[in-house]
Chains A and B, each alone.
Chain A
């Protein structure tokens, strides 16, 4: 793999923004289902969410070497998780933008249709967060593969969705049981991933972005600290703070995810063997 992190930045931005948008539209979808909030109050949320989703999808194109051929990415749906992700991201973004555009038409008869589109977008958004995790189930990328890594975007999107619901509804009281359980799992997985990275990064030859090891280590530590902030602010009902911290946590998590990728190529294997021989010689 290329040792320059810059080509991972569009992917980190896309996956972070998609997760944030998925969580946001999930929150709006849950609120719409309760019929409690006045519909016009949801339009600003839909505007922000559709902008975030659209920008994320657009930025992902920057990753391609041949941007004019981007439509070819949908051809491999039968075998490629990346192709499936492209399909789902496309439908999710379209549904999210459509829901916002429809919401601008002040016709009460459209409410049912808008609700349907929002729930479709929410379903595809949550599915997108799952496919984001599955795309990186690659055999020797140890810090990427496994359910602990695959489920991170999914869990944080659910946490954000529930937090957005609570914020929009201005619900009183602390976090519900579902939120607490999700938080425990997400926090536990964040600790596991941090520990796996810490043990692997001892041998810097194993890391693609060896220069970013210290930064990634700090990133994981801050991510775990932010997790504490999520549950603390949930219990003292500071809903805006919870949403903001989850969003920051998602962005940080994705950056750490990409910078922590491992390398078992012949080049890194030979480097590891050289360094082991040198250590043996010193002994």
Chain B
């Protein structure tokens, strides 16, 4: 079983509530955001504004776990969540170098790295992660799935997040690529965007 984040691009309007909730619940030091919202603005009317909310992708083969020399990172067998243990961390930042998605964050005050841990304490109590619970547009969700049962309309890539096969990030996206011209030079770029639903 694997916990995945599911992000529906068209529903997100960039309120940053997910990032704020994450920082609030996890008491991250000032300036350290485990979840960040990126904005890709439109231009010349062919593209919509796209917001991308990203955090740790709790990858299939997490490079951070493999890289960590002090065993401070572990992928939980029960749900595939990659957890960071601050009491084991030595602050070498090798996980930061290894992660292609900029998930581990450096905390200068503590001399440690930290990252999204899928709110495992909340999950273990049957609650949703703080970011998911806060998202009132329904853009951000999480699911516990069998890897073979992930719906085919869930995309592995989105503008700003490349899927690297040997790493296997476990964030999925709901994107209608006929509706949005998300990449320059896309053959659908002449189509005008439709209105947002809900």
Contact = CB atoms under 8 A, between A and B. Distances in A.
B88 interface: yes
Contact of B69 (A82, A136, A138, A277): A82
A7 B93 contact: yes
A75 B89 CA distance: 11
Contacts of B67: 80-82, 138
Residue of B68, B90, B96, B106 with most partner-chain A CB within 10 A: B90
A203 interface: no
Given A65-B111, A76-B68, A82-B69, A266 B92 contact: no
Contact of A74 (B65, B69, B183): B69
A276 B40 CA distance: 11
State which size class the interface on B falls in: 35 or more
Contacts of B52: 266, 270
Interface stretch (B15-23, B133-141, B161-169): B161-169
Contact of B92 (A63, A140, A278): A63
Nearest to B70: A72
B90 A70 contact: yes
Contacts of A63: 92-93
Interface in B181-196: 183-185
A277 B36 contact: no
Interface in A128-168: 135-136, 138-141
A76 B106 contact: no
Nearest to A140: B100
A280 B43 CA distance: 9
A273 B69 CA distance: 35
A65 B161 contact: no
B98 A269 contact: no
Interface in A239-283: 261, 263-267, 269-270, 273-274, 276-278, 280-281
B190 to A, nearest CB: 13
Given A66-B112, A76-B70, A273-B183, A265 B93 contact: no
B63 A273 contact: no
Contacts of B66: 79-80
A139 B40 CA distance: 25
Residue of B44, B96, B160, B185 with most partner-chain A CB within 10 A: B160
12 contacts: A2-B93, A64-B90, A65-B110, A73-B69, A76-B68, A80-B94, A86-B69, A141-B97, A270-B38, A277-B40, A277-B41, A281-B44
